[in-house]
Amino acid sequence: MPVPASVIRTLAKGINLSHWLSQHSLDEPHLQSYIGEKDFALIAKLGFTHVRLPIDNALLQSPDGSLREQGFTYVDRALDWAQANRLGVVIDLHPVPAPKIAQDATAYAHFEKLWQAIAQRYVRRPLNVVYELLNEPVEPNPQAWRDTAIQLVQAIRKVDKRHTIIVCGHNWSGPDDLPAVRPIEDNNIVYTFHFYLPHEFTHQGATWGSAHWRPLRNVPYPLNMENAQPLLAGLPENSAAALRRLAEQGVDIGWIERRMTPVVEYQKQYRVPLYCGEFGVYRAFSPPDSRYRWLADVVKTLQKYRIGWAMWDYKGGFALLTTDKPEPKADEGVVRALFNG
């Protein structure tokens, strides 16, 4: 069956619940306390339609492939909280690093077993629960990734023919990766990409990723030679060169739209629904007003092409929240950017 219209509506506006069931040590005190029902209530109140729920395989499965029932209870609870607040959920398998399932037969077998267990457990859940095969597979061969995705979809469909599945491109799921992966012969699939361009703005000061991001501070958006020039003199050569190249291009909403052209063309060519499962700006060193403008321009562009989205993230380094004590409080500038442009 095709992707239900209700699922498209569910995927319209989302937020990533990162660093809860993934990207953490997964100790019980953290799992019990990091996110609670009050967070789901706030997310719904703000106007989001779903949460994307990154989950580390290790929460649900031991290294030998056996399943961990206790881990599933945390997912059950998240789905219950979402349902109580009329939110959809993207179940996003999000191990870091991603397992080499296109190259390692044992890793693939464990992964398929896990997806069949997830599908079996949640087959009767409402259709606003959606399955995302794997976050950023970092697989350099697009055909190998497509073949693997086909196998996983077929394995899920043996036990669950109802729920929509989300499939990404190879590599890091960027907008240039998805077009290399032709759609799969299953109509109930949404295709996803992530958008963090330009990284010199969205990841300025980040201690991971490319080394030339680390020295960057106070990079503005929109970016041009006039506002970039004062920053260049104090930067190492590689950072300055990267920033200068961007400033010469001029980074604004037109630049953002041009960088989304590959996925927009994919959407038109294959007539498939798209979903931007991650986009955001690292808070620590980015000017707040520039962050808000970039978020607003990305959302405007996505909505122009009827692409659903989920901002990265709720409580992490790119956070929607300004504090979670005593109660969670959202950054009003981010909320305006996402919902009012």
Range of the domain at 67: 5-198+251-340
For residue 333, tell me if it sits in a domain.
Answer: yes
Q: Is the pLDDT of residue 21 over 90?
A: yes
Q: Is the pLDDT of residue 341 over 90?
A: no
Cα gap 304→292, rounded to integer Å: 18
Q: Is the pLDDT of residue 322 over 80?
A: yes
For residue 127, tell me if it sits in a domain.
Answer: yes
pLDDT at residue 174 in the model: 96
Q: Is the pLDDT of residue 188 over 90?
A: yes
For every residue of 44-81, DSSP letters joined together read HHHT--EEEEEE-HHHHB-TTS-B-HHHHHHHHHHHHH
For residue 185, tell me if it sits in a domain.
Answer: yes
Average pLDDT rounded to a whole number, residues 230-234 = 94
**Residues 241-296 pLDDT 10s:** 999 999 999 999 999 999 999 999 999 999 999 999 999 999 999 999 999 999 99
Total domains in the chain come to 1
pLDDT band at 108 (very low <50, low <70, confident <90, very high): very high
pLDDT at residue 23 in the model: 93
Q: Is the pLDDT of residue 1 over 90?
A: no
CATH number of the domain residue 129 falls in: 3.20.20.80
DSSP three-state, residue 221:
coil
pLDDT at residue 204 in the model: 98
Average pLDDT rounded to a whole number, residues 19-24 = 96
Q: Among 114, 40, 135, which residue's Cα sits nearest to residue 72?
A: 114
Tokens representing residue 73 in the block: 């209870």
Q: What percent of the chain has pLDDT over 90?
A: 98
Cα gap 121→72, rounded to integer Å: 9
**Residues 66-106 pLDDT 10s:** 999 999 999 999 999 999 999 999 999 999 999 999 999 99
pLDDT at residue 200 in the model: 98
- Are 54 and 91 within 8 A, CB to CB? no
Q: Is the pLDDT of residue 203 over 90?
A: yes
For residue 231, tell me if it sits in a domain.
Answer: no
For residue 208, tell me if it sits in a domain.
Answer: no
For residue 225, tell me if it sits in a domain.
Answer: no
Q: Is the pLDDT of residue 205 over 90?
A: yes
pLDDT at residue 8 in the model: 99
**Residues 138-179 pLDDT 10s:** 999 999 999 999 999 999 999 999 999 999 999 999 999 999
3 state SS for 234-270:
CCCHHHHHHHHHHHHHCECHHHHHHHCHHHHHHHHHH
Query: Which of the residues are catalytic?
Result: 136, 278
Average pLDDT rounded to a whole number, residues 224-243 = 97
For residue 243, tell me if it sits in a domain.
Answer: no
- Are 139 and 171 within 8 A, CB to CB? yes
Cα gap 256→281, rounded to integer Å: 14
pTM score, whole prediction: 0.97
For residue 211, tell me if it sits in a domain.
Answer: no
Q: Which helix (H) or strand (E) holds 41?
A: helix 37-46
Q: What percent of the chain has pLDDT over 70?
A: 100
